[in-house]
Protein backbone atom coordinates (compact mmCIF):
# COMPACT_ATOMS: atom_id res chain seq x y z
CA UNK A 1 0.00 0.00 0.00
CA UNK A 2 2.85 2.37 0.70
CA UNK A 3 3.94 1.97 -2.92
CA UNK A 4 0.65 3.52 -4.02
CA UNK A 5 -0.65 0.44 -5.84
CA UNK A 6 -4.19 0.85 -4.56
CA UNK A 7 -7.33 1.70 -6.51
CA UNK A 8 -10.43 2.95 -4.67
CA UNK A 9 -12.42 4.08 -7.71
CA UNK A 10 -15.08 1.35 -7.36
CA UNK A 11 -14.87 0.83 -3.61
CA UNK A 12 -17.78 1.12 -1.21
CA UNK A 13 -18.53 0.06 2.36
CA UNK A 14 -21.44 -1.95 3.67
CA UNK A 15 -22.66 -2.69 7.20
CA UNK A 16 -23.33 -6.42 7.66
CA UNK A 17 -24.17 -8.12 10.97
CA UNK A 18 -22.84 -5.21 13.00
CA UNK A 19 -19.53 -5.06 11.12
CA UNK A 20 -18.32 -2.64 8.46
CA UNK A 21 -16.79 -4.17 5.30
CA UNK A 22 -14.99 -2.45 2.42
CA UNK A 23 -15.71 -3.91 -1.03
CA UNK A 24 -14.11 -3.25 -4.41
CA UNK A 25 -10.86 -1.79 -3.10
CA UNK A 26 -8.12 -3.12 -5.38
CA UNK A 27 -4.84 -3.57 -3.47
CA UNK A 28 -2.17 -5.06 -5.72
CA UNK A 29 -0.07 -7.96 -4.37
CA UNK A 30 3.58 -7.53 -3.47
CA UNK A 31 6.06 -7.97 -6.27
CA UNK A 32 8.84 -9.30 -4.04
CA UNK A 33 6.86 -11.87 -2.03
CA UNK A 34 6.38 -15.47 -3.08
CA UNK A 35 3.05 -16.88 -4.21
CA UNK A 36 2.32 -18.36 -0.78
CA UNK A 37 2.30 -14.93 0.88
CA UNK A 38 0.16 -13.17 -1.76
CA UNK A 39 -3.38 -12.00 -1.07
CA UNK A 40 -6.44 -11.59 -3.26
CA UNK A 41 -6.46 -8.11 -4.76
CA UNK A 42 -10.19 -7.38 -4.45
CA UNK A 43 -11.22 -9.34 -1.36
CA UNK A 44 -13.59 -7.67 1.14
CA UNK A 45 -11.73 -6.00 3.99
CA UNK A 46 -13.07 -5.51 7.48
CA UNK A 47 -12.99 -1.95 8.81
CA UNK A 48 -12.45 -1.36 12.51
CA UNK A 49 -15.02 1.11 13.84
CA UNK A 50 -16.51 1.87 17.22
CA UNK A 51 -20.00 0.50 17.82
CA UNK A 52 -21.58 3.98 17.92
CA UNK A 53 -19.95 4.83 14.56
CA UNK A 54 -21.35 1.63 13.04
CA UNK A 55 -24.84 2.41 14.38
CA UNK A 56 -24.70 5.97 13.03
CA UNK A 57 -23.55 4.80 9.58
CA UNK A 58 -26.08 1.96 9.42
CA UNK A 59 -28.94 4.35 10.22
CA UNK A 60 -27.72 6.72 7.52
CA UNK A 61 -27.52 3.97 4.90
CA UNK A 62 -31.00 2.64 5.70
CA UNK A 63 -32.45 5.66 3.93
CA UNK A 64 -33.35 4.90 0.34
CA UNK A 65 -30.54 5.38 -2.17
CA UNK A 66 -27.70 6.14 0.25
CA UNK A 67 -24.43 4.23 0.37
CA UNK A 68 -20.98 4.52 1.96
CA UNK A 69 -18.22 5.47 -0.45
CA UNK A 70 -14.47 5.30 0.16
CA UNK A 71 -13.14 8.83 -0.37
CA UNK A 72 -9.47 8.35 0.46
CA UNK A 73 -6.91 6.09 2.11
CA UNK A 74 -4.12 7.50 4.24
CA UNK A 75 -1.56 6.36 6.79
CA UNK A 76 -1.56 7.38 10.43
CA UNK A 77 1.45 5.75 11.99
CA UNK A 78 1.39 2.07 11.04
CA UNK A 79 -2.35 1.95 10.39
CA UNK A 80 -4.20 2.61 7.18
CA UNK A 81 -7.20 4.88 7.65
CA UNK A 82 -10.20 5.01 5.32
CA UNK A 83 -12.26 8.16 4.94
CA UNK A 84 -15.87 7.23 4.21
CA UNK A 85 -18.51 9.49 2.75
CA UNK A 86 -22.26 9.12 2.51
CA UNK A 87 -23.39 9.30 -1.11
CA UNK A 88 -26.62 9.10 -3.02
CA UNK A 89 -26.90 7.64 -6.51
CA UNK A 90 -27.98 9.65 -9.50
CA UNK A 91 -31.62 9.87 -10.39
CA UNK A 92 -32.96 8.88 -13.81
CA UNK A 93 -33.16 12.51 -14.98
CA UNK A 94 -29.57 13.21 -13.92
CA UNK A 95 -28.34 10.18 -15.84
CA UNK A 96 -30.17 11.27 -19.00
CA UNK A 97 -28.78 14.80 -18.66
CA UNK A 98 -25.21 13.50 -18.33
CA UNK A 99 -25.67 11.16 -21.30
CA UNK A 100 -26.94 14.07 -23.41
CA UNK A 101 -23.92 16.19 -22.44
CA UNK A 102 -21.54 13.34 -23.33
CA UNK A 103 -23.09 12.84 -26.77
CA UNK A 104 -22.97 16.59 -27.50
CA UNK A 105 -19.30 16.71 -26.52
CA UNK A 106 -18.51 13.64 -28.63
CA UNK A 107 -20.25 15.15 -31.68
CA UNK A 108 -18.38 18.44 -31.21
CA UNK A 109 -15.07 16.57 -31.07
CA UNK A 110 -15.98 14.70 -34.27
CA UNK A 111 -16.72 17.97 -36.05
CA UNK A 112 -13.40 19.44 -34.94
CA UNK A 113 -11.59 16.30 -36.10
CA UNK A 114 -13.37 16.42 -39.49
CA UNK A 115 -12.51 20.10 -39.88
CA UNK A 116 -8.85 19.52 -39.01
CA UNK A 117 -8.63 16.47 -41.28
CA UNK A 118 -10.02 18.37 -44.26
CA UNK A 119 -7.73 21.30 -43.59
CA UNK A 120 -4.57 19.17 -43.62
CA UNK A 121 -5.14 18.07 -47.24
Q: Where are the domains of the chain?
A: 6-89, 90-121
Per-residue pLDDT tens digits for 45-100: 888 889 998 899 888 888 877 888 888 888 888 888 888 888 887 777 778 888 99
Residues ≥6 apart with Cβ < 8 Å to 79: none
**pLDDT, tens digit (0-9, with 9 covering 90-100), for 23-34:** 887 777 666 666
Hey, which CATH number is domain 6-89, 1.10.3720.10, 2.60.120.260, 3.40.640.10, 2.40.280.10?
2.40.280.10
Determine the Cα–Cα distance for residues 14 and 46; give it in Å rounded to an integer: 10
Residue 4: left (phi > 0), alpha (psi -120 to 50), or beta?
A: left
Amino acid sequence: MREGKVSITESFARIERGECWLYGCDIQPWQTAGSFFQHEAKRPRKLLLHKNEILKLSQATLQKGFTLICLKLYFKGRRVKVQLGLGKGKGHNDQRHDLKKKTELREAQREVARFNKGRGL
